[in-house]
Structure 1
């Protein structure tokens, strides 16, 4: 709960006035869909689509992820968690998510947003709908709206390392290095073997060490 409140304050403090798109600062990498932990491929048709029965399992998986001894083991566990996140329990929402994924890959962001607006309206308690829409806003460099959706993801799934990573990336884009460092450390609390988060922490610690206090 403390982690969520802490990150919520970050999100609110970073929202730009009017929610307008924010340009990528000079020298920063262009946004990529992968940055915000986009979803894995859809599960096989014969896999169950309801998440309710998965709740006890996911807690075990989170513990295993935190204790994984190597990257390969962690990746296998992480994918199992992601597949549980992906289950909406609704055939309609699943279809909309699939179409939104195609639109996102094709860089048809207006269509992706239309589809995902419907997803979050039909299923407001489905964290992955908000996560995917946060990704689309990020790709459009609309960091304010992306942060707002990330906040919704974390309210529903506080250990969502993709959303946390996205928060940290946007904080870096907005030159909020200290906040980004804290956020990426929170990512590693959930997923200690996540290489991108480890590198981000190392880079940010180096950058901050070279700056006057």
Structure 2
């Protein structure tokens, strides 16, 4: 089994969508493993609520998880997702910051952050976040064209 650091090293070099997807899947498997039964129960309950569209319940379950394991980055990331889906961008952004404080390589949090910044028409912020994502995985499908478009827009407007 590969370690997280090994998977990220391979992700930086990966250049096909299949290879990138396989490496991301391996990383997610590690991120979604708490190693503690009680934490897994909160994570699973929150993920079920999220999948069912019950964002309030998901936020409650992920908050319980965060209170029990504040250093567990994925608890913060999942709650950020629930807040985002409920339209609470500020709360989601706060949780993304907490996720990245614990796991700076969290491509899911970075991708979500870029999506929100783009929705808020913050092109410079989006470019900064996507540049961080590029450092993790330069061949992420569609990333280079997004970066080119943003740089073109900012170059012509700024």
TM-score of the two chains, using structure 1 as the length reference: 0.69
Give the Cα separation in 1 of the matches to 2:14 and 2:22. Answer: 10
Among 96, 99, 102, the residue aligned to 1:156: 102
Offset from partner CA, 1:83-138 (integer Å, 9 cap, x none): 11111121111111111111111111111111111010011111100000000111
Partner of 2:141: 195
How has the CA–CA distance of structure 1 residues 129 and 75 changed in structure 2, closer, same or farther, with 3 Å as cutoff? same
CA RMSD of aligned residues (A): 1.7
**Number of residue-to-residue matches in the alignment:** 158
**How do 1:71-82 and structure 2 match up within 5 A?**
71-82=17-28
Among 85, 97, 115, the residue aligned to 1:169: 115
TM-fit CA distance, 1:196: 4.5
Contact 1:165–1:197 (8 Å) recurs in 2: no
Give the Cα separation in 2 of the matches to 1:205 and 1:90. Answer: 44
Among 71, 78, 81, the residue aligned to 1:132: 78
How has the CA–CA distance of structure 1 residues 121 and 77 changed in structure 2, closer, same or farther, with 3 Å as cutoff? same
Q: Tell me which of the two structures has the higher relative contact order, counting C-alpha pairs closer than 8 angstroms and 6 or more residues apart.
A: 1
Offset from partner CA, 1:49-82 (integer Å, 9 cap, x none): xxxxx8x821111111101132211211111111
Partner of 1:141: 87
Give the Cα separation in 1 of the matches to 2:125 and 2:72. Answer: 27
How has the CA–CA distance of structure 1 residues 151 and 72 changed in structure 2, closer, same or farther, with 3 Å as cutoff? same
User: Gaps spanning 5+ residues in structure 2: where?
Assistant: none
User: Gaps spanning 5+ residues in structure 1: where?
Assistant: 1-53
Structure (1 or 2) with the greater helix fraction = 2
How has the CA–CA distance of structure 1 residues 167 and 60 changed in structure 2, closer, same or farther, with 3 Å as cutoff? same
Partner of 1:96: 42
